[in-house]
Structure 1
């Protein structure tokens, strides 16, 4: 399967997979200069690219584990949703939940794009829902 990707800026880098088994495509920061993200700060980071996701899929923008664990840099909305009919630039909101400023360099990998199948169910009101063993129990009810 191919994923059509358009460079929107001259210094944009096409998304890549780190290994053949990598589920996500790494996105690269399309910045003119280094970008420092202070603790508690929210910043939008452009990738410089747009993609034509296949119909019946959704793009999930996810953080990179190394940035999160080592530096406290994560996505401000946890996971970004890219609908298959969106054709604009892929931009991620990053936040610094760490205790030190972090400087993102131009061309640095800053997020991942996963392309996954999605279902499109039509909500239908029901007087009752089918019963399950778990029922309405939630928030830790299945154990530690």
Structure 2
């Protein structure tokens, strides 16, 4: 019986993907690697004035959108568990990369969904002055399996019907 773990998604099977691993015996998180080389553009690339204008106008400027970094990985786990995606501590300090959503949440029903097979991606925003190139195989973040509790009055409104962001109403 499988309890929790990682698998490579079908479209990345032949791309030399490494399953996430813990770096030390006491590490809580499993290190995820980038499945391909991706450039994370600086939010300042178009210029500070244009960026501020876009924010004030409440427009979604292309330079302000997060960049999705594919991992080629999906995760399976128990119904009352989730995989928490966190940034590496060195990313903001050394590379100005932050997880745009703060913390990623991979629900158990995301696994093998019909849209993207449960492909886990990290979303980054680059607050640095220059673009950042993330190389294939570079460690980009960590995943921690965690249990969660349900309220006495717990009700759900729907079943998952898609992939990334599909539970947004």
Superposition TM-score, scaled by structure 1 size: 0.77
Aligned equivalent of 2:102, options 70, 78, 102:
78
> How many residues matched?
122
Alignment of 1:1-144 (within 5 A): 3-8=4-9, 9=12, 10-11=14-15, 12-31=17-36, 34-40=37-43, 41=63, 42-87=66-111, 88-123=118-153
Alignment RMSD, CA only? Answer: 1.8
* Cα deviation, residue 24, structure 1: 0.6
Higher helix share: 2
Larger radius of gyration: 1
Give the 3-state SS of the residue equivalent to 1:94 in structure 2.
strand
Runs of 4+ in 1 over 6 A off after TM superposition: none
Superposition TM-score, scaled by structure 2 size: 0.67
